[in-house]
Amino acid sequence: MFPKNAWYVACMPQEIDEKPLGRRVCGEPIVFFRGPENQAVGLEDWCPHRGAPLSLGQVVEGKLVCGYHGLEMGCEGKVVAMPGQRVRGFPSVRSYPVIERYGFVWVWPGDAAKADPALLPHLAWAEDPAWAYGGGMYHVKCDYRLMIDNLMDLTHEKYVHATSIGQKELDEVVPQTVTEGDLVITKREMPGVKAPPFWATAMRGNGLDGEATVDRWQRCRFMPPSSVMIDVGVALAGQGGFDAPAPAKTSGIVVDLITPETETSIWYFWGLARNFRPEDKALTASIREAQGKVFLEDLEMLEAQQRNLSAQPERKLLSLNTDLGGVQARRIIERLVAQEQAS
């Protein structure tokens, strides 16, 4: 269903600042907490004593203390103490590789021996002070592949997001899709159009005329196992579109980090990275609020879609030319899952 030998975003750092966090990732129940050096740790969410979720406990001096009978767990998954008991023979629990980078806590739910930090997606904007990022997280009750389909075919913006980022030209311009190894790229260029409300507001926030005619672009990039980065923006018409000089455009990267929880639910980490006025916290907050409303519209549609699919699993879905990006992404996922199962 999903590749497990891969890095997934488990949570944001502030979610585990004080208390342990229980979160299911690719079907694996994991508890996250901070060890004695403040490092992020991931263990199986299971107390070796009576099977209670360790996430219901507390963190004391870098050790995870079960909230049922006080059993203490170390960062490697070994029992270190329990009131009034000898713990030498207690079994360990599974420890998961964890990395904290780019403003996220990542976990490897598969074979720990294959957890290579070099395989972590490179998010250059997250380490560049010339960029600002604002985002959030939604729990969505849908198959993670439905979200990938949604992000790789932005034609739906005309209908689902008619009052924010949608416009009629989305139906009129056929996207172009190419596959480069495990990377799938879908592009759409819309020259000589009016900016939709979201982008008109963003232009004004960047000191440009929101009513001006623009060249708009969307470049969706799927990277396995389940990330989609979308280069988006508008530039004053005739200034070069995507390649326009910075003073003539307003652009950013829509960040979509999708983590399967179960076969029909996900943790969806979303946001926008931008390289204009990065110091303006008020602008970051306003863009985040507007983008959050857009993604809520997707959430409603995707959860309704999943309910239909779950009720009638025997019915097949159609694939049109605009679906090619999602289709190619699914093929890559299927190949990776098959390779894991074969090994």
Domain end call among 100, 119, 138: 119
pLDDT at 1 over 90: no
What would the pLDDT profile of 180-227 be if each residue is shown by its tens digit?
999 999 999 999 999 999 999 999 999 999 999 999 999 999 999 999
329 closest CA partner among 188, 187, 183: 183
Whichever domain contains 37, its CATH number is: 2.102.10.10
Residue 63 lies in a domain: yes
Residues 210 and 294 grouped into a single domain: yes
The number of folded domains in the chain is 2
Boundaries of domain holding 88 = 8-119
Q: What is the rounded distance in angstroms from the CA atom of residue 168 to the CA atom of residue 190?
A: 10
pLDDT at 343 over 90: no
- Determine contact, residues 147/140, Cβ cutoff 8 Å: yes
What would the pLDDT profile of 119-171 be if each residue is shown by its tens digit?
999 999 999 999 999 999 999 999 999 999 999 998 888 888 888 888 988 88
* pLDDT score of 313: 95
In one letter, which amino acid is 318? L
Residues 140 and 244 grouped into a single domain: yes
Residue 206 lies in a domain: yes
What percent of the chain has pLDDT above 70?
A: 100
Residues 182 and 283 grouped into a single domain: yes
Residue 3 lies in a domain: no
Mean confidence (pLDDT) of the chain: 95
* pLDDT score of 158: 80
Residue 2 lies in a domain: no
Residues 270 and 138 grouped into a single domain: yes
Residues 195 and 143 grouped into a single domain: yes
In one letter, which amino acid is 89? G
Q: What is the rounded distance in angstroms from the CA atom of residue 195 to the CA atom of residue 180?
A: 31
Question: What are the tokens at 261?
Answer: 């929880």
Residues 105 and 147 grouped into a single domain: no
Residues 73 and 140 grouped into a single domain: no
Look at residue 165 and give its three-state secondary structure.
coil
Domain end call among 93, 119, 145: 119
Residues 168 and 316 grouped into a single domain: yes
Question: What are the tokens at 164?
Answer: 């924010």
| pTM (predicted TM-score) | 0.95
